[in-house]
């Protein structure tokens, strides 16, 4: 199902502040970047909105596209494709912004399209694969095993705050 821009989901996933923490444990919002499915801990996700006007801000990393005004609050917006070093692509009717909140910092993540919320038990999450020189994927939380596939689980803290390697 293709949604038009005015039909994009405007979901407030964490509206109930008194919600029991355990109901969100092991749950990940999954989304696509370049045909690959990624997940981020649902506890960080506050809402999903359609793409909107982004005001560019000078002297920012290339992956920070600018800021948006979300109900009177200015929120920086990161293009996750560019954060991963991938090629930028035109936004379409499936492109959306996943607003996350980490350490009291709200940031919008531009993703190709949102998929679903999955329950991935801790026992089904393996560490990221080791890369050259013993390094592990620096922005990854782990690899979630789901049915016959694997979801790449992102570390929200590192995604937002870890410096780019030169």
* 43 inside domain: yes
pLDDT in tens, the chain (166 residues): 444 444 555 555 545 444 455 678 899 999 999 999 999 999 999 999 999 999 999 999 999 999 999 999 999 999 999 999 999 999 999 999 999 999 999 999 999 999 999 999 999 999 988 766 555 578 999 999 998 899 999 999 999 988 765 4
Indicate whether 74 belongs to any domain: yes
Predicted TM-score (pTM) of this structure: 0.82
* Six token digits for residue 132: 């050259």
> Which CATH number does the domain housing residue 104 bear?
2.40.50.180
The CA distance from 28 to 4, in Å, is 25
Full domain range(s) for residue 153: 5-14+25-127+135-161
């Amino acid at each position: 199902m293709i949604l038009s821009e005015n039909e994009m989901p405007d979901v407030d996933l964490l509206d109930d502040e008194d919600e029991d923490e355990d109901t969100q444990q092991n749950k990940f919002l999954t989304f696509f970047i370049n045909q690959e499915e990624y997940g981020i801990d649902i506890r960080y996700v506050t809402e999903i909105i359609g793409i909107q006007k982004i005001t560019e801000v000078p002297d920012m990393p290339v992956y920070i596209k600018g800021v948006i005004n979300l109900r009177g609050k200015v929120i920086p917006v990161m293009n996750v494709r560019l954060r991963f070093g991938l090629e930028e692509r035109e936004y379409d009717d499936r492109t959306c912004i996943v607003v996350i909140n980490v350490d009291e910092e709200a940031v919008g993540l531009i993703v190709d399209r949102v998929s679903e919320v999955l329950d991935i038990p801790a026992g089904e999450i393996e560490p990221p694969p080791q890369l050259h020189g013993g390094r592990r994927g620096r922005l990854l939380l782990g690899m979630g095993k789901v049915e016959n596939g694997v979801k790449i689980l992102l570390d929200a803290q590192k995604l937002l705050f870890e410096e780019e390697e030169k």
